[in-house]
Every structure is written in C-alpha cells, then in structure tokens.
A and B are shown apart, each in its own frame.
Chain A
Amino acid sequence: MGTFSTFDIAGSALSAQSLRLNLTASNLANMHNVAGDPAAVYRARQAVFQAARDPFGSVLAGVDVLGVIESETPPVERYDPGNPQANEDGVVYASSVNAMEEMANMISASRSYQSNLEVINTAKDLLLRTLSLGQV
C-alpha cells in the first residue's frame, strides 16, 4: 500500500459502479423485449460486488465485481396472437424487468459514483499540496 492507494481503492469503486450503471441501462433498454420461448426472453442483470483483498495481506480493500447474475423472476406470459414472435398458441413471453427497481438502482449507482469521484478529487488536491510542501 503506497501513497496512491486511495486512487486504486476509489478507482475500483468507480469501475464497479459504472458497470452497475451500464447494466441498468441495458435492463431498461430491453424492458419491452418479447420472445416466443420463455428461455430466450431477456432477464434483468445485476452485478455482484465483493470487497477485494490486497495480495500483500493489507486489510484495506477496494471493490471487486464478482460477476453478473441474471434475475430468476419468471417472464410474463401474454396472449398476443398478432405478434410475429408469438408461438403456435399465440402466446408471447415478456421480459420481467422492473422499471422502478432499475430506477432506484440507477440513482444508488450514480450517487456512489459521485461520492467516490469526490474522494479522488480531494485526495488529488491533498497530494498536490503535499508535493509543493516547503516551496516558496
């Protein structure tokens, strides 16, 4: 852990939160997707976070993205025989993305992104001041 580990820690959070924001965008964009087969329909995706361990055994940690999971919520079945994607029974399966949930997630990710950015800016200011210590 050097002087600049604040940047590594907050930087890992920035990338994790931006992934979360991208997933929200993807979920909202595919909210109205339908398919004739329940297995083929779009499912909401969420990032899973885990505290990252420093390889040198330090207790301080940034954040790691463990992976992206797909929602287990079953797709919504709808009778719509006019739809070109309907199966032989005239049924389409709509994606079960919850718009409210996604908006709440988006706000949370954006707030976290902002606070980590503030951490980086403050740390940068302090380090620049430390570098100019003793200069007239």
Chain B
Amino acid sequence: MESVLGIHEAALSFRARRMEVLAANLANADTPHYQARDLTFSAVLDERMSAARHLAVTDQRHIQIDPLASRETLQYRMPHQPSLDGNTVEADLELARYAENAVSYQASLLFASGKISQMRTALTGSR
C-alpha cells in the first residue's frame, strides 16, 4: 500500500506527529519554565535523507530508525516575546501553526484518497 500512496503516507505521519507536538505546547501554555518545541519539515527531511545515505539495511537483523521518533528533529522555539516565568509558548501563534498543520494534513489526505481512486479506476476500468 505504501507504494500506492507514495510520499503522502510519510507526509501524513509527519503532520500527525507535528499535531502532537503543537498540542503539547498548547497544553503547557501556562506551565512555568516550559520550552515550546516544534518539528520543522526540512529537519525531518534532512534526517530522512541522511538516514537513507548512512544507515543502509543490508541484513534483515538490522534495526531501522524512524526519523520521526528520534528527539533530534524536535527543536526549541525562539519566542518573540519571552515571558518572565520562562515559558516560551505563545498560545495564539501555536494555534495558528496548529491550524496550518491541520490544513496541510487535509491536503495530504486529499492527495492520498486521489491515489486510491486512481487505483480503483485502473482496477475497474471504465465501468
């Protein structure tokens, strides 16, 4: 199925993960000393590309590392207006990013379902 959905499957898992990260930021909007974090698309892409370069799986006992699961791609946010209690969450900006991420998720879903209906058309012909 992965080859049918192509890159959209990976894009969906990135968006789902980012949704969790942004939800964690919003949940801790009133927690002192909480540092807001985010995933950047390019960081995940870089990690995935370098993983593809360096960690070749040549044996079936080798373990694949999922770049989305590692901590290194999570980066700390630089706040525009730091607050005195050390919290770097800016709730309105986080909400805006969350909405943007949700729209991108829906776009990936749309592409994926387009792929599926393409396959269905190919299988059933013009009937």
Q: How large is the interface on B (under 10, 10 to 19, 20 to 34, 35 or more residues)?
A: 20 to 34
Are B116 and A133 closer than 8 Å at their CB atoms?
yes
A residues contacting the other copy or chain, number (CB 8 A): 36
For the A-B complex, the count of residue pairs with Cβ-Cβ distances under 8 Å equals 88
Q: A79-120 toward B: CB 8 Å interface, digit per residue (1/0)?
A: 000000000000000000000000000001101100110110
CA distance A67 to B43 in the complex (A): 37
Chain B nearest CB, measured from A100 CB (Å) = 18
Q: Mostly helix, strand, loop or mixed at chain B's interface? A: helix
Interface residues of B in 23-76 (CB under 8 A from A): 23-24, 26-32, 34, 37, 71, 74
Within 8 A of B (CB), among A59-83: 59-63
Contacts A/B (CB < 8 Å), 22 sampled:
A3-B16, A9-B20, A10-B27, A13-B28, A16-B27, A20-B30, A49-B30, A51-B34, A59-B71, A111-B91, A112-B30, A116-B27, A119-B98, A122-B98, A122-B102, A123-B19, A126-B106, A126-B109, A130-B12, A130-B109, A133-B113, A136-B117
B residues apposed to A, CB below 8 Å: 12, 16, 19-24, 26-32, 34, 37, 71, 74, 91, 95, 98-99, 102, 105-106, 109, 112-113, 116-117, 120
